[in-house]
Homo-oligomer: A and B are copies of this chain.
Amino acid sequence: MIDLQLLNYLDGFITEARKKRFIEVLAERTKLLTVAIEDVYQMHNTSAVVRSCDIFGIQEAHIIESRYGKRLDKDIAMGSEKWVDIIRYRNTKECIAALRNQGYAIIATTPHNDSCLLDDFKIAGKTALFFGTERNGLSAEVFAAADGFLKIPMAGFTESLNISVSAAIILHTLTSKLKRETDDWQLSAEEKLVKQIDWTKKSIRSIDAILARYEQQK
């Protein structure tokens, strides 16, 4: 249940402009598209993908860290991680199972499969876009499980794009298409309120003391 009274209470501790910004940003958020990042060992790349999620309105990012464990935690905890929900997995299998369970199609982004070019990609329901490492690409596991592939057409001698650049191009193109061509891409009213409470809490410095006071007053 959403505690609207709590939200009203907390709103007193942030500026009107801040509150307005939250509502604006939430109006552009989607869970219809999500990303899954497989074992990217260069932390600044994961961080850059999460940043693109924030910029293009992807609310959830799935991070698989089988090889590098908890090392990423601290390093990617930059600004945008606050506004994008990060879901972590110890291996690819877990991540795919969780996404399938939520009804996502598994799409492998790769320069090595020509079956679908970015501009022709149709968003048919919930779609999870998988991104692999720069060096090795996605694992065989993702390829085997994939419901589809997605390639950015490249017309030069350079044969691969950095993962942060690929992700940005794909997220820009697909969120723009999503908003142009479909209707039900937004978060539900309830999901929006849950995130608004979460973001409001994150924006208040002495939130613990304030929450304690709220509980007493109730």
Contacts and interface: CB of A to CB of B under 8 A. Distances in A.
A154 B171 CA distance: 11
3 interchain residue pairs of minimum CB distance: A54-B156, A28-B155, A57-B155
Given A168-B169, A172-B169, A176-B119, A51 B158 contact: yes
Contact of A54 (B56, B157, B164): B157
Given A48-B162, A173-B173, A80 B168 contact: no
Interface string A35-68: 0000000000000100111111100000000000
Size class of A's contact patch?
35 or more
A51 B51 CA distance: 22
Interface in A78-119: 79-80, 82-83, 118-119
Contact of A164 (B29, B118, B165): B165
A88 to B, nearest CB: 21
A51 B21 CA distance: 36
A25 interface: yes
Contacts of A204: none
A48 B163 CA distance: 12
A129 interface: no
Nearest to A79: B158
A176 B157 CA distance: 17
A204 B53 CA distance: 44
A168 B165 CA distance: 7
Contacts of A57: 155-156
Contact of A165 (B82, B152, B165): B165
Contacts of A80: 156-158
Contacts of A28: 155-156
Which of A54, A55, A173 gathers most chain B CB within 10 Å? A55
